[in-house]
Each structure stands twice: as structure tokens, then as C-alpha cells.
Amino acid sequence: MKLFNRTLPALAACLMALGVQAQDAPPTLDASQWRSCLAGLRNSAAFSSISNATWQQHVAQLEPDPTVLPLLNRQPEFTMPAWDYLAMLVDKERVADGQAAHQKWLSTLKQIQQRYGVEPAVVVGVWGVESNFGKITGGRLLVQSLGTLSCFGRRQSYFRGEFASALRILQEGNFAPEKFTGSWAGAFGQTQFMPSTFLRIAVDGDGDGKRDLIDSVPDALASTANFLRRSGYVTGEPWGYEVKLPAGYAGTSGRKNRRSIEAWAAQGLTLPGGQPLPRTLRNAGLLLPSGTKGPAFLVGKNFDTLYSYNASENYALAIAHLSDLVGGKNSSVAFATPWPTDDPGLSRAENRELQTLLLARGHDIGVADGLIGAKTREAIKVEQGKFNMPTNGRAGQKLLRALRGR
Ligand code: CA
């Protein structure tokens, strides 16, 4: 599996709340460089399966989109604290939506489980984190984004392969061009597959002969399960579980540094309540998203399959945790060990409450939709200043508590 960390549209919509939206002005792109780049691509081997008719229809009149380029250099999954990332992606709303989706699609999910060996709640967890259960799939025209990224910025060779794959998908008549939209980096549909992943992995879940990850939920869910299976999913094994470290733990850690459960038990690790570690994983790595002071997890092979979806451990943990909550293996959105911060992140409902409080204080920030844009960040800075907090525009629990108390 090609690992490329895609900023999820569901996440991108939330990023503004953290003040990490792209603020860089898009560059001015050189028109002659664009034309000569496209001409070069047309004659390259990667595009040899694209017919002249397809090229004429989809590329000949294409204009580049410079607004994708500032996004290329942002990898919020890596720069954001784990507690902000998890707070946005796993909150009570998403758990409730996931439980409803799990119920609604249960017969489909059970058929998928029989065929691919992946449990329903895990498939639903991926769906929820990837596209908020199909609600947020990205609105950028894929051919335009991928064409631009093929000719400007870093990682052009990677995006050229995806550009060619996107054109092949259109050439094969899978989607109407105007429906073929997705995230800035080219991930699309309810599974947020990259075009090359679609060509290799997508399957027809509802039996109509088409692989429609945009409008068919059964196709999207089956394709997700197929992706996990192809990544080495072990049927019946959990992704892992939260553990408690012994006081002063200074031993080994890391997702890839796998040891037997017996070895971890010998190091003094237990379940959060002190019970012995269950022997449900063949072996596991110790994941410490925020060091030894924060929540700790033993993670096995199936965690790696979630990781392979988006090359981010925090992302994989969000799916894993959401899956446990949807499937009833866990009932608490908070982990047993709290995050090592005195200012945790906000859920989407808390973002809306924060916005309502700011509106009540006369800040002109539009509607309280839980997505905090530039105006709200400015309002947050003003209020942070009044409370002698760092004026960084970040929406966190401290400011929310301060505003509630006034
Ligand atoms: Ca289908």
C-alpha cells in the first residue's frame, strides 16, 4: 500500500477550529510551465493508457488550482497534539452517529464480515473518521487538484501517478466528471481512497456491477473491508487495548517494536484497572502518543492495517477508539489515563458552545456551526487576552471554562 498521509476532509473542516488552517497565500503559477508540464505528461509512459479523447475532454482546457499548494505542506496529524486530534474525531456525536450507522447497515456489514473477515464496528470506525459516515467527502475537482500537484510543488512524481489513475477512472466511465470530487490531495468518496487505491482495491458491494465509492454505501463499506484485508487484517484479533504503565516506566516503546504479551506483562504493564493483560494479541507494540505520562496502548497487527489507511498513528488510534465505542467494547470517550495537558481539546459540540458564548459577547463570527474560522480565531484571541491566557487563537477547554464562568 502506498502510504501518503491525506488530510481528511472531515478533519480539514475541523482544523480551522484549531487555528491551523492554511494561511499562506496561494502562489501565482506560471502558465507556460503548466502547459509544458502537461505536454510532457501526455507523452510520458504513465499516461500511455489515457486516450486522446479522454485527454481532450478532461485535460486540454484544464486550469491549475494554486490553492492546493499551501495545503501540501501541512500535515496536521503530525503537528497537532494527540488530544486535540482525538477530541475532534472521536466525540459523543460521532459515536452516536456511528452506532446509528452500525444499526442501519448491520445486514450489509455482516455480509462484508463473512466475505472479508473484518468486524462491522471496525469498518464503521474507518467510515466515520474518513468521511463522517459519507457526509464530508471533499468538493474539489480531482483532475484539477491532481493535475496541479503533478506540475507544481513537492511530490510531483507521486501525484502524477494519481493523476493518471484519476483519468483512467474517468475513461472507464466510473463517475461523471462533475461528481468526481474529493479532498485537495485527491482522496475521494466515502472511503477517501486515492485514485490508484480505487483501481486496485475498490469492490462492488451492492452487486450492480459498478464500484461506486461516492454514492453506494455497500460499495464503500466493502471496499474499506477489502482494503483492511489486503493490508493483513487478522480476523478476530482486536486492534489492541489501553494499558497502564508501571510507575517510572523507562522501557521500550513504539508501534513497530513488537513483543509478546508475556514480555509486556513481565515489564509490569497491566490493564488500566490493574488486571493482567489479556492474551488476545499474538504480539504488540507499545504506543505512547504523548509520552509515558499520557494514555498508553498495546497495539497489534490490526492497528497497523488502520495505520496503513493514512500513515498516522493518531489517525489509526482515532479509528480504533471509535470502533470500540461503536461496537460496545468501550463506553467512555475519555481514555482511562488522561492526556498530559491542563488544556484538552474541544469536541465539535463544545466548539459550537464556544462559538455561542463568543456571539453572546458581541463577536461577529457568523453562525455557531462548530467549525471555527478566521473571525472566530480573532475573537478567541481577544477573549484570551482578557483572561491573561496566551493569545494563540486555539479553542481549548480553558477558554471554554473561562467563558462559561463569566
Ligand atoms: Ca456497486
| Residue pLDDT, tens place only, 94-112 | 999 999 999 999 999 999 9
What pLDDT sits at residue 2? 35
Strands 254-259 and 240-243: unpaired
Report the separation in Å between the CA atom of 75 and the middle of ligand 1, taken as the mean of its atom positions.
Answer: 33
What pLDDT sits at residue 375? 86
pTM: 0.90
Report the separation in Å between the CA atom of 386 and the middle of ligand 1, taken as the mean of its atom positions.
Answer: 55
Report the separation in Å between the CA atom of 305 and the middle of ligand 1, taken as the mean of its atom positions.
Answer: 24
Report the separation in Å between the CA atom of 78 and the middle of ligand 1, taken as the mean of its atom positions.
Answer: 35
What pLDDT sits at residue 17? 38
All three cell numbers of 203: 469492490
Report the separation in Å between the CA atom of 214 and the middle of ligand 1, taken as the mean of its atom positions.
Answer: 10
Report the separation in Å between the CA atom of 171 and the middle of ligand 1, taken as the mean of its atom positions.
Answer: 18
Report the separation in Å between the CA atom of 216 and the middle of ligand 1, taken as the mean of its atom positions.
Answer: 6
Report the separation in Å between the CA atom of 109 and the middle of ligand 1, taken as the mean of its atom positions.
Answer: 15
For ligand 1, an ion, list residues with CB under 5 A.
204, 206, 208, 210, 216, 219
What pLDDT sits at residue 76? 56
Residues facing 382 on adjacent strands: none
Report the separation in Å between the CA atom of 202 and the middle of ligand 1, taken as the mean of its atom positions.
Answer: 10
Report the separation in Å between the CA atom of 112 and the middle of ligand 1, taken as the mean of its atom positions.
Answer: 13
Report the separation in Å between the CA atom of 406 and the middle of ligand 1, taken as the mean of its atom positions.
Answer: 54
What pLDDT sits at residue 22? 45
Report the separation in Å between the CA atom of 188 and the middle of ligand 1, taken as the mean of its atom positions.
Answer: 16
Segments in the chain below pLDDT 70: 1-24, 74-79, 406
Report the separation in Å between the CA atom of 165 and the middle of ligand 1, taken as the mean of its atom positions.
Answer: 19
Instruction: Say what percent of the chain tops pLDDT 90.
Output: 83
